[in-house]
Amino acid sequence: MPSRPLIAVTRWIPDEAVKILAEAGEVRVSPADRPLGPGELREFTAGASAIVGMLHDRVDGALADAAGPGLRIVANVAVGHDNIDVPALAGRGVVVTNTPGVLTDATADLTFGLILSLTRRLGEGERLVRAREPWSFHLGFLLGSGLQGKTLGIVGLGQIGRAVARRAAAFGMRIVYTGRKPAPSEVESALAAEFVPFPELLAGADLVSLHCPLTAETRHLVDAAALRAMKPGAYLVNTTRGPVVDESALADALEAGEIAGAALDVFEREPSVEERLLARDDVVLTPHLGSATVETRTAMAVLAARNVVSVLAGNDPLTEVRP
């Protein structure tokens, strides 16, 4: 009787997804509650027909070769796939999939939570109360900035960017956006969003929210020059990928008063954070929580599992990433 395909899962995933994977093969889940090092990852995935990986797993041609000729699919439990060398895997006949769509609302909710925390100084207020610092209400106490009538600049009007725009509209904000090309006119009309070049967005937005993928072109998209181009009272929010922002340049800009504040859910050298940002009250920091709801993380893992089952059964993947 032939052995069942080996499915290597590089970190814990919800049981619902494991049960789906078990329909297609023998499931091996890493017992380590941490990212595997390169050598550990090669050893753990050796002989696998499928790899279910996380955004911290670097998957390239060398890893595919170490896994062996039986590797058929790498299912990334994330929307972004900058951790995977898609052309190298495609050249070896390995399918790559991701998990788009299912985390749109969770990430948009988190983005708006960061916006409110930043503009209304919620983190500062909570830290003050928890520290038992003396305080009393007065009209100048911890004043923040309202959102009504302000301009939100969205960099990347994909699914998550559009969901953020819908939430911003409910707060009475004006929406401008930029990207590689304008969105369809019906999308612009539905969101009351206006396409502008990146420099114009930086100069005019009261708040800049990043939702572009990480590519060679977008790495350090927000650098020292971009930060200087922003309005002095503007805020920056990043919930996409850390390296889109030059964190050292961001710290410089905040120290110089070039922008009013920043909120980051992702980091350039995650999980490390630029040291100068940690003590600043004008910075909100969260540990990559964009998709962190029970419902969303389960849906992501289930979609990855269904991609594996489909490919191992000889069918097309549900959400393939093409070179």
Q: How far apart are CA 23 and CA 4, in angstroms?
A: 10
Tell me if residue 217 is catalytic. no
* Phi, psi angle pair for 35, to nearest 5°: -65, 140
Collapsing DSSP states into helix, strand and coil, what is residue 63? helix
DSSP-derived letter for residue 185 is H
Q: What is the pLDDT of residues 112-125, one digit of tens each?
A: 999 999 999 999 99
Give the amino acid at 237.
V
Contact present, 195 and 183 (Cβ < 8 Å): yes
Number of Cβ within 10 Å of residue 318's Cβ equals 16
In the chain, where the domains are located: 6-102+294-312, 104-285
> How far, in Å, CA of 110 to CA of 228, rounded?
26
Indicate if 104-285 has the same CATH topology as 6-102+294-312: yes
Could you please state the CATH topology (level 3) that the domain comprising 104-285 is classified under. Rossmann fold (3.40.50)
**What is the pTM for the complete model shown?**
0.93
- Radius of gyration (Cα) for the chain, nearest Å? 22
Question: For residue 175, what is the enclosing H or E element?
Answer: strand 174-178
Q: Residue length, the chain? A: 323
Other Cβ atoms less than 10 A from the Cβ of 32: the count is 13
Q: Which of 44, 18, 51 is nearest to 30 (CA)?
A: 44
Under DSSP, is residue 282 helix (H, G, I), strand (E, B) or coil? Answer: coil
Backbone angles phi, psi at 243, to 5 degrees: -65, -5
User: What is the pLDDT, as a whole number, of residue 1?
Assistant: 38
Task: Give yes or no: 241 in active site.
Answer: yes
pLDDT tens-digit profile, the chain (323 residues): 358 999 999 999 999 999 999 999 999 999 998 999 999 999 999 999 999 999 999 999 999 999 999 999 999 999 999 999 999 999 999 999 999 999 999 999 999 999 999 999 999 999 999 999 999 999 999 999 999 999 999 999 999 999 999 999 999 999 999 999 999 999 999 999 999 999 999 999 999 999 999 999 999 999 999 999 999 999 999 999 999 999 999 999 999 999 999 999 999 999 999 999 999 999 999 999 999 999 999 999 999 999 999 999 999 999 999 99
Q: In which residue are the tokens 């072109």 written?
A: 217
Q: In the chain, what are the helix, strand and coil shares in percent, each to the nearest 5?
A: 35, 15, 45
Q: Within a 10 A sphere around the Cβ of 204, how many other Cβ atoms?
A: 16
Q: Which CATH class is domain 6-102+294-312?
A: alpha beta
Annotated catalytic residue: which of 120, 270, 276, 320?
Answer: 270
Asked, as a colleague might, if the bond just before 199 is cis with ω within 30 of 0, I would say no
Q: Which residue blocks in the chain are alpha helix, DSSP H?
A: 15-22, 38-45, 61-67, 86-91, 104-119, 122-130, 159-170, 185-191, 198-204, 224-229, 247-255, 275-278, 294-312
The angle formed by the CA atoms of residues 204, 208 and 213, to the nearest 5 degrees, is 130
- Nearest-CA neighbor of 262 among 252, 272, 65? 252
Residues 272-298: b if buried by 16+ CB within 10 A, e if exposed:
ebbeebeeeebbbbbebebbebeebbb
Name the catalytic one among 11, 81, 241, 306.
241
